[in-house]
Amino acid sequence: MARSNKSRPDYTTAILDFVSAAPSRNLVDLEAITNLFPTIKEATVRKKVKEAMALHPSLCGRIAGVFPDTKAILDEIERQLGSAVVGETLVRANQLAKTFVEGLANAFANDFCTKALNNHINQATGEISIHFNELITHLVLPYEEYLTKSGNSLVSIAGTLNQSLLVRALRNSGLTDTQPRIFSETGTRSEGDIQIYYRPTGRTGDRTLYVEAKSYAARERLLRGLADMHEPKVGVGFFNDPTEFNEERVTSIVNSAHAKAIYMPTATYAGLAQASRNINIPGTGRVCRKLESEFVEDMIYFTRHGSIINR
């Protein structure tokens, strides 16, 4: 006999109706939503809230301290782009995602401060009258607790969103990470963040390209990450400082870390010294490459030929 679902609450409808009924200028506390389901654990309610956000983007930014999951954010970014995230739109998508997440974080911080200092705010002028030490007492420790309770979501999102953009662009290019699996996300130290597979049908010679993904700063973390990985390997990121890729650094990436290429935004590439651009590897060519026009194309090429394009 089939099990009855009559006692199972319709989370999405209940959450949507509750938030929609609240004044649009106010954020809804997660605790208030949790109270709708008194027999359900808070962690489960938080999960259901994120699922509801994915189905109803209007909920994003309406519930204090709760960020949408990465997939929901990428869906929203593609809506803003008016198209799918592909290689050519990676940098623009990154900028939109950064603005979107920072907007949510600022709204949450504003909501927290407003509620924490409500008794000290002049509603007519917006001015605050409170001793500095009391201000610290009202904000610092409570805000740390607030972040902990919200799962420190902003840190988690910042660490995964840029990599997820790269993965979305690969998927939208036709590469699959299901069946047949042409690439996959890993995150294991020596295996990089993304793996691209060359699997020639009916022949030997399988190869895997290991991809180390970073965000905006290369510093020493990129070099260390690449050095620990299997070969062949490449690095990719939304690097915004061309001086991090001077001739000495790029030479170290090749000679010490043995990476084949580093992909960076076209604007960053344009700021490179000519000496950095001129560094080549026999057989694969230019080390410094453009993220928007060359990363996805090179990954597709690897799945077909077992090497990146010789540029």
Average pLDDT, rounded, for the chain: 89
Tokens of residue 288, six digits: 């410094």
- pTM for the complete prediction? 0.86
Helix boundaries (H) for the chain: 11-21, 30-34, 42-55, 70-81, 90-116, 132-149, 153-172, 219-227, 247-255, 266-270, 274-277, 296-305
**Neighbour count for residue 95 (Cβ, 10 Å):** 13
Give, to the nearest 10 degrees, the angle between helix 247-255 and helix 219-227. Answer: 20
Strand spans (E) along 166-300:
183-185, 194-198, 207-214, 233-237, 261-264, 280-281, 285-286, 288-290
Residue 20 reports pLDDT greater than 60: yes
**Torsion angle of the four alpha carbons 32, 33, 38, 43, in this order, in degrees rounded to the nearest 10:** -120
Spatial contact of 93 and 81, defined as CB atoms under 8 Å apart: yes
**pLDDT score for 124:** 83
**pLDDT score for 128:** 86
DSSP sequence for 36-52? TSTTS-HHHHHHHHHHH
More confident residue, 8 or 44: 44
Q: Given pLDDT bands bounded at 50, 70 and 90, which one contains residue 1?
A: very low
In whole angstroms, give the CA distance from residue 165 to residue 266: 17
**Amino acid identity for residue 44 in this structure:** T
CA angle 160, 167, 186 (to 5 degrees): 65
- For a pLDDT cut of 70, what percent of the chain falls above it? 92
pLDDT digits 0-9 by tens, 38-51 = 999 988 998 999 99
